[in-house]
Structure 1
Amino acid sequence: MTNLSSPITAKNKFLIFGGGFSGDYFAKSIRKLGCIALASSRSISNEPNSFIFNSEDNSIPEDSIFEGATHILSCIPPDKNGNDPVLKRLKNKIKKLSLKWVGYLSTTGVYGNTHGDWVCEEDQPNPFQERSQRRLNCEREWINSNLPIQIFRLPGIYGPGRSTLEAIRTKKIKVIDKENQVFSRIHVADIANAIIYLIQNKNNLDFHQIINIADDEPCSQIEVIRYSYQLLGLEMPKKILFEEAKKDLSPIAQSFWKENRRVSNKLLCKKLGYKLIYKNYKAGLNNCLLKLNHE
């Protein structure tokens, strides 16, 4: 694929489909660089930089939203049939735009279960969960669109307002321990900043269509929970073994524990030169605590 992007300037206009946790953070980050960033909402919002897009009831953005758009980031998950909602409703409209770059937020779930082994972008996807199979299908839809697309595979996402600290404070945490189980994770700030770094340096870097964004230290969930209790100055309750806890978990909660992998960030951080803001969960949780203490 040709190198179609250029450094970010105030002339750039970003459309972000799916203004959730990651999408909103990215929109705010890109606006700090002087760009226009509009984020979609499923219903009418008071947010001035919001537009409506809801594929389920066919609420399509007005033509004016697309005028001058140079970059698109899609954070919207697949529909129940495994199709990408943005491409299903808007592909023809998007393909008429003079886009410099398009990004899609996917999941490291497409790698499936590696029993704790490392995965990298060169590994063949082997999705175990149905939702991950749907994600892989959407990745392929974007790649086959012939748009200037980059796919970002993300592990567990956390950040201020969405971390184990808040879960402890609101008593919505289960202290579950499963032997030899590891998870990878990424702070929301590193998702936004890594993507911005890649766009800004696109002309100087080798182009990679698929990139993992993960921190340096996959680890067990119990380590993260233990450190979170320490930060809050609280005593961690007695842990529950997974085999005992699973009967009380929802099917989707159980499914997260069925996969065990370490996600490599060597392409992003070693080859492409991105420097993580939060290299591990300890650095990230300290940031979350700062925000929590200022509320």
Structure 2
Amino acid sequence: MSVPSVVIAGCGDVGSRLASQLLASGWEVHGLRRDISRLPEGVIGIAGDLFKKDCPDTWPIGGVDYLVYCAAATEHDEAGYRAAYVHGLQHVLEWLDDYGQQPRHLLFVSSSSVYGQQHGEWVDETSDTQAQGYSGQVMLEAEQVALNSGIPASVVRLTGIYGPGREWLLTQVRKGYRVATEPPLYGNRIHADDAAGLLAFLLRHVEQGGSLDKVYIGVDNEPAPLADVVGWLREYLGVTEWSEDASVRRAGSKRCSNKRIKALGWEPAYPTYREGYAAILKG
């Protein structure tokens, strides 16, 4: 019996974590990135550039059971986002077509930036997408490319990813980071291992004969005011000084729900920011 195969296009941090989890389950994993020397051991490297139309020479010529598209923009402007998420996905779909490959399912890794709610509202997969900035607007465009690809597809809207190597907030807290407390500035987050684990869970669900909805939100169990997160981290780290800068206030405040994916049976290994940040700091 053949093992399931997957191509992870844009096999960076989350993609590599996903690859390691699938390898441990006996999957055949192909990872596409420019520098394949950075792929986890056991991943079959595809040295390629998603921004270019030319199909990589090492694209797998056999069957591709699953495709996960989890690219990251290298230029953080509208053109950079469109190149990474819209055009890059279109290129991969063309390469599949060139080889006559029809995956059983496509997972497109999107972002909660497609939601523009700003007043602490609860948001789920049925909520209106009111993207305010170019990032969310381009993501919505890319989502439609995936959903209209002719391949059974699901969009996974990840929230703020944190984990080893993604420690901006920890650095700021150590500097005495100030945050506005009223009204509460709600944030949503997911540990990088849980982001990968959620993607692996969805792939295994399909492999075992299950069906998927078109959209899932990837978030932990507890959206929380940023001031609460900062306060917990200050106490954990023993930070007593405050920065002289004025309180930080960034746009956007919403609470994302993970009820849909939990109803399918998924549970995060790090249910809240407390477990996740404690694991980072102990590590």
**Corresponding residue number in structure 2 for 1:262:** 255
Relative to the length of structure 2, the TM-score reads 0.83
Deviations 1:114-170 (A, max 9, x none): 41101111112111111110000000111111112110001100112323575259x
Would you say how many aligned residue pairs link Structure 1 and Structure 2? 269
Secondary structure of residue in 2 paired with 1:162: coil
Change (3 A) 1:109 1:198: same
**Corresponding residue number in structure 2 for 1:231:** 236
**Corresponding residue number in structure 2 for 1:219:** 224
Alignment match of 2:109 (pick from 95, 105, 110): 105
Relative to the length of structure 1, the TM-score reads 0.80
Query: How many Å separate the matches in 2 of 1:213 and 1:30?
Result: 18
Structure 1 residue runs of 5 or longer lacking an equivalent are: 1-8, 247-256
Query: How many Å separate the matches in 1 of 2:137 and 2:257?
Result: 21
Q: Which runs of structure 2 are paired with 1:237-252 in the superposition (5 Å)? A: 237-238=242-243, 240-242=245-247, 245=248
Change (3 A) 1:159 1:66: farther
1:275 aligns with 2:267: yes
| CA contact 2:46–2:59 (8 Å) conserved in 1 | no
Q: What is the CA-CA distance between 1:259 and the residue it aligns to?
A: 1.1
Query: How many Å separate the matches in 1 of 2:52 and 2:58?
Result: 18
**Corresponding residue number in structure 2 for 1:76:** 71
Identity, % of aligned positions: 23
| CA contact 1:18–1:41 (8 Å) conserved in 2 | yes
Query: How many Å separate the matches in 2 of 1:274 and 1:46?
Result: 29
1:138 aligns with 2:133: no
Deviations 1:196-229 (A, max 9, x none): 2222233565520100011111112232223223
Deviations 1:63-86 (A, max 9, x none): 543533211111114653736233
1:62 aligns with 2:67: no
Alignment match of 1:177 (pick from 173, 180, 192): 180
Change (3 A) 1:91 1:64: closer
| CA contact 2:69–2:89 (8 Å) conserved in 1 | no
Query: How many Å separate the matches in 1 of 2:270 and 2:81?
Result: 36
The aligned amino acid for 2:197 is N
Change (3 A) 1:197 1:55: closer
Structure 2 residue runs of 5 or longer lacking an equivalent are: 74-78
Query: C-alpha root-mean-square deviation of aligned residues, in Å?
Result: 2.7
Alignment match of 1:17 (pick from 9, 23, 26): 9
Query: How many Å separate the matches in 1 of 2:211 and 2:59?
Result: 34
| CA contact 1:102–1:147 (8 Å) conserved in 2 | yes
